[in-house]
Structure 1
Amino acid sequence: MAVIESAFSTDDLPKADRWASWYEFGTQSHLPTLIRTDHQDDFQGAVRVLDLGPVQVSTLTYSPLNVLRTPKLIRQSDPGVLYFVVHQHGRIGIAQNGREVVLASQGQVIYDTSRPFTAWATAEHDAVAGCVILQVPRELLPIRSQTLNPLLAVGLPQGGGLGALLSRHLAELTRNAPQWTAADAARLATITADLFAALCAHELETVDALPPETHRRALQTQIHEFIRQRLGDPALSPGTIAAAHGISTRQLYKIFQDQGLTVADWIRRCRLERCRHDMADPQLHSRPVHAIAARWGFTSAANFSRTFRAAYGLPPGEYRNLHHGGARRERTSIVQAVTTTP
């Protein structure tokens, strides 16, 4: 059973029905707001919603519009969630608590749906605006609501750190949505909420206020992402990983010990998976096996061959030939079927 993902696009509808249908889907899948647009006659919009239980991740595109969340609407329906918004296209503005921020070039912002806010979006050349929205219930955060006030409607750093990590995590969640199962949902929701809590705590400089378990899970996710981004570096080591995260190698070993792995095991597993993926890629069929191995940090072709065989039961070259041979046979059988069909 897969994680619940719903999708809507105005491309599937007559022009006369697009605005009303998008309005209905958007307010039902998120929260009641008053939305106005000057593009009702030619509205374009799409929404993808990944439901992880208490946590929700949405990818939205839409024609220019204005959004208003009033005290009356809050009294009628208050889900008690915080929004973390990552800009993708156009220009997006959010105003709350007497502050206003304009997002562009992958900017990020947090706002509270239990407080009135206004939002707007514009796009150039009749294109669409777009963003990713993470919804996290306040009850999942180990930080008091009032403590979060300084973060509302304030542009967050874009270049790196926890904000960039959380943004990449959300992109990965939505990109791999078809493979998640219902059993994954609770774990993914916890990891996502922990990363969001760590981001908030970091921006507030109150990381020590996080419960140890929340801090540990967020740190674990940071370390995993750090390693994935540097698998091609042969010098990647427990020492460099620990130093980059301000912890001792002993602490690092403890984090992986809780997963039943050593640091080296986890790095090797990730490298092997990247190599296996590349060797199954028909576009990389002409690339030598040793070049693929070197790309992902294996410095010895012989050692890579032994390690790959131990993990997958076949030498890398044989694995590649078997995979691509099967693909070629399938394509040949399709061509033969087509050419021999009367």
Structure 2
Amino acid sequence: MSPTTPLPPSSPPLPSVLYSSGHIPARDRFGHWRELLSSTHAPMELRSDHSDDFRARQRVIRLGEVTVWPAAFPSVVFRRPQKLIRQSDPETYHLTLMLRGGGVAEWRDKTLRAGPGTFHTSDSSRPVEIRSFAERDRILMIGVEVPKAVLPLPRRLADRSVGLPIPDDRGVGDLLARLLRRLVRNLPEYGLADGPGLGAVIAHLAATALAQAVENDSALPQHTRRVTTALRIRAFIEQNLGDPGLSPAEVAAAHHISTSYMHRVFRHEGVTVGTLIRRQRLERARADLGDPRRAGEPIQAIAARWCLTASEFSRSVRATQGMTPGEYRRLALRAESGDRPHPGEGRSPH
């Protein structure tokens, strides 16, 4: 099981705390959110034109030593001067995935304008002022806190990367952005045991994104390069499952690596690339079987969409579900509609 695969719903949920200002008197909302943000990120000075009725929502998700916090709030100015750094410094790097709205971050020696399409980065040990601008009355963002001691990148390089633009729609930035969106969107599907693994993956992706910002991938530890390569390959496979030419050789060529190196990478993953391609195709086809929108589509057509023959798809469904694809479809669609079958109904005779 990969670190980004949700555990069954029966497992304990990921630890998270939801804050919403709705139940707090209007005059106290801004101060309350400032205290929450300071405990999540680092002590800061905040001001806002909406401080008399600051409507904010924030969830804090603990993933081992890494923290993720999606938030929605009005326009606000953040300041972290040297005096607050001397008082308290959690020594973390912060990345912000902007979903709506934007902002301008100013350090002593550089300025970064960020909005959807670009990660904003900062360093809790460096003075900064960030002026954020809401769109449609709210800023939507996902923040990530990675302790400096956890980030697998030399400190001097990580420091140089702060304030540089990191695209969130291509390369490793895209991988990190999609992982954060999926985590926040599907949070109930992840279990407690997923937390440390997810945190480690986010730290590896963050380190790689920061290293690429200063064009020094070679400084990354071998383990981080291997983890990031495996994640990029998994994402590539997921996006190209319908391509009949998808093969281990094509995957390696698309990533400019040799097939032998790719196989060494996936030896640590406990699965071969060929097996991964076949497994994901079977999972997609099986999901289509239970999709009410495809109820009238021939099973052979579903198999063909995912580059499978009808016979191999049928064998897989029989082996994993103990029934034919047609029987599995009827049960799945009946469960989707809330009509529970009688015990044993639809089972294939042995």
What is the TM-score when the length of structure 2 is the normalising length? 0.87
Which of residues 242, 253, 259 in structure 2 aligns to 1:243? 253
Match of 2:121 in 1: 110
Displacement of 1:167 after TM fit?
A: 0.9
Look up the SS of the partner of 2:125 in the other structure: coil
- Correspondence 1:281 to 2:291: yes
Instruction: State the AA in 2 paired with 1:309.
Output: R
Pick the aligned partner of 2:179 from 151, 169, 173.
169
- Confirm whether residue 312 of structure 1 aligns to residue 321 of structure 2: yes
Aligned twin of 1:101: 112
Following superposition, the deviation at residue 12 of structure 1 comes to 4.2
Greater shift, 50-59 or 255-264, is seen at: 255-264
Instruction: Sort the Cα spacing of 1:230 and 1:86 in 2 relative to 1 into closer, same or farther, 3 A.
Output: same
- Measure the CA separation in 2 of the matches of 1:329 and 1:44: 38
Structure 2 gap ranges (5+): 1-11, 342-350
AA partner of residue 42 (structure 1): D
Moved more, 141-150 or 115-124: 141-150
Within 5 Å, give how 1:48-67 maps onto structure 2: 48-67=59-78
How much has 1:77 moved relative to structure 2?
1.3
Structure 1 residues 188-211: Cα deviation after superposition (integer angstroms, max 9, x where no partner): 211111111112222222222222
Query: What's 1:335 paired with?
Result: none
**Pair 1:326-2:335 in alignment:** yes
1:223 to partner: Cα distance: 1.0
Counterpart in the other structure of 2:348: none
Higher RCO structure, 1 or 2 (CA under 8 Å, sep 6+): 2
Q: How much does 1:154 deviate?
A: 2.0
Change (3 A) 1:329 1:89: closer
Q: Which residue of 2 aligns with 1:82?
A: 93
- 1:155 aligns to 2:162 (yes or no): no
Of the three residues 27, 30, 33, the one matched with 2:44 is 33
Inter-partner Cα distance in structure 2 for 1:331 and 1:14:
47
Query: How many residues are treated as equivalent by the alignment?
Result: 330
Matched, 1:70 2:88: no
Higher percent of residues as helix: 1
Report how far residue 331 of structure 1 moved.
Answer: 8.3
User: In 1, Cα distance between the equivalents of 2:84 and 2:124?
Assistant: 10
Q: Which amino acid is the alignment partner of residue 132 of structure 2?
A: A
CA distance in 2 between partners of 1:300 and 1:113 (Å) = 55
Sort the Cα spacing of 1:302 and 1:220 in 2 relative to 1 into closer, same or farther, 3 A: same
Contact 2:75 2:132 in 1 (8 A): yes
Determine helix, strand or coil for the equivalent of 1:172: helix
Length-normalised TM-score, structure 1: 0.89
Q: Any conservation in 2 of the 1:5–1:177 contact (CA below 8 Å)?
A: no
Deviates more, 1:116-125 or 1:50-59: 116-125
Deviation at 1:299, TM superposition (A): 4.1
Secondary structure at the counterpart of residue 187 of structure 1: helix
Asked if 2 retains the 8 angstrom alpha-carbon contact of 1:309 and 1:316, the reply is: yes
Supply the distance in 2 between the matched residues of 1:97 and 1:309 (Cα, whole angstroms). Answer: 64
Q: Which amino acid aligns with 1:313?
A: G
Query: 1:298 touches 1:304 (CA, 8 Å); kept in 2?
Result: no
1:292 to 302, 320, 324: 302
What are the ranges of 5 or more consecutive residues in structure 1 without an aligned counterpart? 333-342
Quote the Cα distance in structure 1 between the aligned partners of 2:125 and 2:302.
51
Once residues 106 and 290 of structure 1 are traced to their aligned partners in structure 2, the CA distance between those partners, rounded to angstroms, is 40
Measured after TM superposition, the shift of residue 327 of structure 1 is 4.0
Aligned position for 1:339: none
- Note if contact 2:93-2:122 (Cα within 8 Å) is conserved in structure 1: yes
Q: Return closer, same or farther for 1:58/1:329 CA change in 2, 3 Å cut-off.
A: closer
Change (3 A) 1:298 1:80: same
Contact kept? 2:120, 2:166, Cα under 8 Å: yes
